[in-house]
Protein backbone atom coordinates (compact mmCIF):
# COMPACT_ATOMS: atom_id res chain seq x y z
CA UNK A 1 0.00 0.00 0.00
CA UNK A 2 1.37 3.44 -0.91
CA UNK A 3 1.15 5.85 2.00
CA UNK A 4 0.91 9.53 1.17
CA UNK A 5 2.89 11.88 3.36
CA UNK A 6 0.59 13.85 5.67
CA UNK A 7 0.93 17.56 5.05
CA UNK A 8 -0.91 20.12 7.13
CA UNK A 9 -3.36 21.58 4.56
CA UNK A 10 -3.01 25.21 5.56
CA UNK A 11 -0.57 26.11 8.26
CA UNK A 12 -1.88 29.67 8.41
CA UNK A 13 -5.40 28.71 9.39
CA UNK A 14 -6.70 26.10 11.79
CA UNK A 15 -9.79 25.22 9.79
CA UNK A 16 -8.30 21.77 9.22
CA UNK A 17 -8.76 20.89 12.87
CA UNK A 18 -12.54 21.05 12.49
CA UNK A 19 -12.30 18.25 9.92
CA UNK A 20 -10.34 15.88 12.14
CA UNK A 21 -12.24 12.78 13.24
CA UNK A 22 -11.07 11.12 16.44
CA UNK A 23 -12.07 7.46 16.16
CA UNK A 24 -11.07 3.92 17.05
CA UNK A 25 -8.16 2.47 15.07
CA UNK A 26 -9.03 -0.15 12.47
CA UNK A 27 -6.65 -2.80 11.08
CA UNK A 28 -6.03 -0.97 7.79
CA UNK A 29 -4.74 2.08 9.74
CA UNK A 30 -1.73 0.15 11.07
CA UNK A 31 0.75 0.97 8.23
CA UNK A 32 0.01 4.68 8.68
CA UNK A 33 1.17 4.54 12.30
CA UNK A 34 4.69 4.01 10.93
CA UNK A 35 4.84 7.67 9.83
CA UNK A 36 6.75 7.29 6.58
CA UNK A 37 9.27 4.95 8.19
CA UNK A 38 9.99 6.87 11.38
CA UNK A 39 8.12 4.31 13.49
CA UNK A 40 8.59 1.16 11.39
CA UNK A 41 10.58 -0.32 14.27
CA UNK A 42 7.33 -0.35 16.29
CA UNK A 43 5.39 -2.45 13.72
CA UNK A 44 5.14 -5.49 15.98
CA UNK A 45 4.32 -3.35 19.01
CA UNK A 46 1.38 -1.83 17.11
CA UNK A 47 0.22 -5.20 15.80
CA UNK A 48 0.35 -6.59 19.31
CA UNK A 49 -1.63 -3.60 20.57
CA UNK A 50 -4.23 -4.29 17.89
CA UNK A 51 -4.52 -7.92 19.07
CA UNK A 52 -4.94 -6.75 22.66
CA UNK A 53 -7.58 -4.32 21.50
CA UNK A 54 -9.50 -7.27 19.99
CA UNK A 55 -9.27 -8.99 23.37
CA UNK A 56 -10.76 -5.89 25.03
CA UNK A 57 -7.55 -5.07 26.89
CA UNK A 58 -6.54 -1.94 24.95
CA UNK A 59 -8.41 1.00 23.44
CA UNK A 60 -6.66 2.49 20.40
CA UNK A 61 -7.59 6.01 19.25
CA UNK A 62 -6.49 7.77 16.09
CA UNK A 63 -7.01 11.25 14.67
CA UNK A 64 -8.01 10.98 11.03
CA UNK A 65 -7.89 14.01 8.76
CA UNK A 66 -9.61 13.24 5.45
CA UNK A 67 -7.15 13.48 2.53
CA UNK A 68 -4.16 13.62 4.92
CA UNK A 69 -4.70 10.35 6.80
CA UNK A 70 -3.84 9.44 10.36
CA UNK A 71 -2.20 12.44 12.03
CA UNK A 72 -2.34 11.38 15.67
CA UNK A 73 -2.76 8.42 17.98
CA UNK A 74 -3.14 7.57 21.63
CA UNK A 75 -3.38 4.11 23.17
CA UNK A 76 -5.00 3.08 26.45
CA UNK A 77 -4.15 -0.08 28.33
CA UNK A 78 -6.97 -1.15 30.65
CA UNK A 79 -5.19 -3.96 32.47
CA UNK A 80 -1.55 -4.74 33.11
CA UNK A 81 0.65 -6.85 35.35
CA UNK A 82 1.68 -3.43 36.72
CA UNK A 83 -1.53 -2.84 38.70
CA UNK A 84 -0.33 0.61 39.77
CA UNK A 85 -0.53 1.60 36.09
CA UNK A 86 -3.61 -0.27 34.87
CA UNK A 87 -5.74 -2.49 37.07
CA UNK A 88 -8.72 -3.31 34.86
CA UNK A 89 -11.32 -1.26 36.74
CA UNK A 90 -9.99 1.98 38.31
CA UNK A 91 -6.77 3.15 36.66
CA UNK A 92 -5.94 2.96 32.95
CA UNK A 93 -2.52 3.55 31.37
CA UNK A 94 -2.05 6.00 28.50
CA UNK A 95 0.83 5.48 26.06
CA UNK A 96 2.02 5.93 22.46
CA UNK A 97 0.47 9.41 22.36
CA UNK A 98 1.73 11.43 19.44
CA UNK A 99 0.54 14.03 16.99
CA UNK A 100 2.43 14.53 13.71
CA UNK A 101 4.72 17.54 14.01
CA UNK A 102 2.92 19.66 11.41
CA UNK A 103 -0.34 19.32 13.32
CA UNK A 104 0.84 20.14 16.85
CA UNK A 105 -0.02 23.24 18.90
CA UNK A 106 -3.50 23.57 17.45
CA UNK A 107 -5.48 21.84 20.19
CA UNK A 108 -5.60 18.33 18.70
CA UNK A 109 -3.70 16.66 21.55
CA UNK A 110 -6.02 18.35 24.05
CA UNK A 111 -9.04 17.13 22.08
CA UNK A 112 -7.75 13.55 21.90
CA UNK A 113 -7.15 13.51 25.63
CA UNK A 114 -10.67 14.78 26.20
CA UNK A 115 -12.08 11.94 24.05
CA UNK A 116 -10.00 9.44 26.04
CA UNK A 117 -11.23 10.85 29.36
CA UNK A 118 -14.90 10.90 28.37
CA UNK A 119 -14.66 7.30 27.21
CA UNK A 120 -12.89 6.13 30.38
CA UNK A 121 -15.40 7.93 32.63
CA UNK A 122 -18.20 6.12 30.76
CA UNK A 123 -16.39 2.85 31.53
CA UNK A 124 -16.34 3.96 35.18
CA UNK A 125 -12.54 4.38 35.39
CA UNK A 126 -11.32 6.96 37.90
CA UNK A 127 -7.70 7.61 37.02
CA UNK A 128 -5.34 7.87 34.05
CA UNK A 129 -1.66 7.03 34.55
CA UNK A 130 1.22 7.62 32.14
CA UNK A 131 5.00 7.70 31.94
CA UNK A 132 6.71 10.57 30.19
CA UNK A 133 10.45 10.88 29.50
CA UNK A 134 12.12 13.21 32.00
CA UNK A 135 13.62 15.16 29.11
CA UNK A 136 10.28 15.69 27.32
CA UNK A 137 9.56 19.21 28.61
CA UNK A 138 6.85 19.91 26.03
CA UNK A 139 4.82 16.83 26.93
CA UNK A 140 5.30 17.36 30.68
CA UNK A 141 3.98 20.94 30.32
CA UNK A 142 1.09 19.66 28.18
CA UNK A 143 0.09 17.02 30.75
CA UNK A 144 0.47 19.50 33.64
CA UNK A 145 -1.82 21.99 31.91
CA UNK A 146 -4.39 19.24 31.48
CA UNK A 147 -4.39 18.29 35.14
CA UNK A 148 -1.82 15.51 35.45
CA UNK A 149 0.43 15.46 38.50
CA UNK A 150 3.88 13.96 38.85
CA UNK A 151 3.80 11.20 41.48
CA UNK A 152 7.16 9.50 40.99
CA UNK A 153 9.93 8.27 38.75
CA UNK A 154 10.23 5.22 36.53
CA UNK A 155 13.37 3.62 35.10
CA UNK A 156 11.67 3.64 31.68
CA UNK A 157 13.20 0.32 30.68
CA UNK A 158 11.37 -1.88 28.19
CA UNK A 159 12.07 -4.19 25.30
CA UNK A 160 10.38 -4.90 22.01
CA UNK A 161 10.94 -6.79 18.75
CA UNK A 162 11.50 -4.52 15.80
CA UNK A 163 10.26 -5.04 12.22
CA UNK A 164 13.18 -7.45 11.63
CA UNK A 165 12.28 -9.41 14.77
CA UNK A 166 15.42 -8.12 16.49
CA UNK A 167 15.09 -7.55 20.23
CA UNK A 168 15.54 -3.87 21.09
CA UNK A 169 16.00 -2.49 24.61
CA UNK A 170 14.97 1.02 25.57
CA UNK A 171 16.08 2.91 28.66
CA UNK A 172 14.45 6.30 29.00
CA UNK A 173 14.14 7.55 32.59
CA UNK A 174 10.61 8.79 33.02
CA UNK A 175 8.21 10.58 35.32
CA UNK A 176 5.04 8.83 36.36
CA UNK A 177 2.00 11.12 36.17
CA UNK A 178 -1.64 10.61 37.13
CA UNK A 179 -4.92 12.42 36.65
CA UNK A 180 -8.17 11.82 38.51
CA UNK A 181 -11.01 11.76 36.01
CA UNK A 182 -13.91 10.60 38.14
CA UNK A 183 -14.32 11.39 41.82
CA UNK A 184 -17.28 9.10 42.39
CA UNK A 185 -15.10 6.13 43.36
Using CB under 6 A as the criterion, which residues of the chain lie in contact with ligand COA when the complex forms?
Answer: 14, 97-99, 104-110, 130, 132, 136, 138-139, 141-142, 145
- Residue 155 class from Cβ within 10 Å (0-12 exposed, 13-18 middle, 19+ buried)? exposed
**DSSP characters over 55-109:** TTSEEEEEEEETTTEEEEEEEEESB-S-TTT-BSSSEEEEEEEEE-GGG-SSSHH
**Complex with ligand COA: residue 1 or 15, whichever CB lies closer:** 15
Q: Which is nearer to ligand COA, 144 or 168 (CB)?
A: 144
CB 36 → ligand COA: shortest distance, Å? 15
Residue 140 CB, shortest distance to ligand COA, in Å, is 9
Min CB(184)–ligand COA separation in Å: 27
Contact of 99 with 80, CB cutoff 8 Å:
no
Q: How far is the CB of 141 from ligand COA (least distance, A)?
A: 4
Amino acid sequence: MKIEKSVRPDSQSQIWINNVIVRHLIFSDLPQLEWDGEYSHLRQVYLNAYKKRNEGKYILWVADLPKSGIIGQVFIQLNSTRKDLADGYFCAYLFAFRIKADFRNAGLGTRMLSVVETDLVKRNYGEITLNVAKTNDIAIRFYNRLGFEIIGSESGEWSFRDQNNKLQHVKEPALKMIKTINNSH
